[in-house]
Structure 1
Amino acid sequence: MSETILPELPQELWRAGKLELAHGVQQFLQVIRVATAGLGQYLAEIESRGAKDLYGYGSTAKWFADVAGLSFGEARPVVNRAIALNPTRGLDGTELPAVAPATAAAAAEGAVGDERIQQILDFLASLPLDTSAEDREHAEKTLAELARHAGPRQLAEAEQNLLGWLDPDGAEPKEPEPKQPRRELTLERRKDGFWKLNGLLDDEAGARTAAALEAYAAPRPVDEFGQADLRTKPERLGDAWVDLVDLAIACPDQPGTSGYRTLVHVTIGLDELKSGLGTACVDYVGTMTAREARMAACDCLMLPVVLNAAGEPLDVGRLRRFVTPGQRRALNIRDGGCAFPGCHRPPKNCHAHHIHHWADGGPTDLRNLTLLCGFHHRLIHHGDWQVRMAADGLPEFIPPQYLDPLRQTRRNTLHRAA
């Protein structure tokens, strides 16, 4: 990235001539564009390492939105452009090349801004899937060079010419939609460990499902510290689905669960579980990291399974409920819902979290327990936030240093009267 010196403002700007004004605008514009390109390199590196492992956030865009004071809708295109313009790394360490390297070079020189960059990226995304790598590279280089001097209309005309050359037949006509059945549901586990849920519902079932999801998918209100809910609508609906499943599992009459939230079969040694290194099996249908198992074990039935070096079971422990129904009722009364500052979630949508984790010797008593919703429970386990019990017997939270350099303690005041 070329070095750009920040121009100095005249002491009396109103005395500047028209050429000096124009030159100042051009200089500052170049500084902004070069700085944006440099910011993109940092964001691409955070994306490569994983925002969840670094800061406890589900995505780089969510983390950047909090740091920059932006909405998720404002932060997401900035991060997407950064990933497209810079090489990143996959989960296995494999380097992933930039989508538009020639455009990235022009951006690093301050020759093109976000609008033209996004225009080029949108064009590349619209190309047919069978476009060869050579044709795609040629089109991107042509547009990147043209964008240095051309406006949006001239660039759009060049894109139409390129598209006519690369895809003369246009898009294939879509087949008519098949007749929608009354009710269908499929659930399958993908190779990457995620589960794919698909379904079709008749009007009545769809309306009931939508009403139930919408009731739990409302955005979290902005708290007293200005933190807003940055989840997208699909993410909020996904969390609402999990809340509904948790409520169904917690029902005492639910077949197979008897009202217990989760049954975790731990197939690793206790030392591995304490260190957070290893894997655990959840109801024999998949694996999770030991780090995730530590979080699930806060409020569940835990069935320890001790294995020998060959993987054969040596001992299967008895079920033990870590949080009793009486303790849960006391937590509901004391915390009134999620104890994280600014969270409005009621007790029925919360987990009981061990402040000093049980795997590290923490006791299961009210002085070591607090209620947390699923989102903030994960943030405490995987992020830089900390929770402790204050002298008055109520939980208080310590924010990460990058949000509050003084790390002053915070509490949730939404669930109890002043």
Structure 2
Amino acid sequence: MIEELAQARGAVADAAAAPAWALAEHDLVAALDAAHRLEQQLAAVKLTLVRELDGRGTALAQGASSTAVWLRDRLRLTVPAARRLVESAHALDTGAPEVRRALADGDVSLEQARVIADTVDTVRAAAGTDVATRAIGVLVDWAGQFDPTLLRRLATRILDHVAPEVADAAAKAALDAEARRATRDRHLTLSELTDGRLRLSGTLDAETAGLLRAAIDPLTAPSGQDDQRSPGQRRHDALGDLCRLALRTGELPEHGGEPTQLVVTTSFDGLVRQLGTGTLDAGFGLTAEAVRRLACDAAILPAVLGSAGQPLDVGRQRRLVTGPLRRALVLRDRGCAFPGCDRPPRWCDAHHIRHWADGGNTSLANAVLLCGHHHRHLHHGEWAVQLGGDGHPEFVPPAWLDPEQVPRRNHYHRRNMTAAGQPRTR
């Protein structure tokens, strides 16, 4: 397979280097069709590989919390895109071999294949395997005419064409299946932009959508005749108001042993002079104006940082990794410190580098932030953790993963980057 893929890569490279301007119009169209068909065939190969890797547990063995997270780091994908790859690989593997073959032949796109696989599952449950097989033929034929959105709409009445005697009963089953898919597909993604802002995207189920509308609508009304905000800006500000209201209730659960809170790091001199910018514990920057506004209603704790950014003292040290010591860990690690993990500080536990039972003390030099998955992985796996020369954590992989055992760092948290934006270590 590797040799065949290498040959295909060479052929594609040659095609990419060929001058498209020299082609006649009908040849351009034919080349586009051929490229699209090849893209679907390669997608089938990729899904086969993803399914096999997921089944073997390769991602977990290498320290990732899931195959999707492993794919994100390996292929430089977003987590939602990686998750869709895993889901598609499972759907086509457990659904119908005919659908996988249609994708491998380039007869359907990946999105169309997902629609067909979902529909076939519903038809098989409602009318049996024989009817499901007939449905595949019809759906593949339709895929040559309709895009995935229209194909899914038509697929809800597929039994009218292949088994009208059970169509009505199956229609209810299809609606139930659609409700299950809505539950499965619910998600909310927070994507950090390069300037520290967040882009929100996602799909809410009907109940959650109703709750959000009920809570946010009263806060989105214009504040007066001179309110120049757009509707989108008013919804943005309303979401911020909702978060402030929730934080003030005191009823939110603790995160990492601390009450739910917003942590902002800034310099004392800058705050006093009303010029200092700040940084949230998740790594986002704040303007001096925002820092001053938040400081009006905040508890302010002193912290002393070394030249490499490592906290040297934060308030009063305690025996447990809570309070000031935990805040020091958050200042240093910015989240789970394991390589490739982007989980924020509030999802993390404090891990003793040298276990307490073995004589390790509870101090900043003997602690590291780890999410639940990587905390367990470190205790039961072969990775080792240590502090580098600049006081930041680095992880030594097992020899079977990296014979040279080069220490690795988490590059998702800004504190571990140099001024030029390059990682200090691998």
TM-score, structure 2 as length reference: 0.49
Q: Which has the higher contact order (CA 8 A, sep 6+)?
A: 1
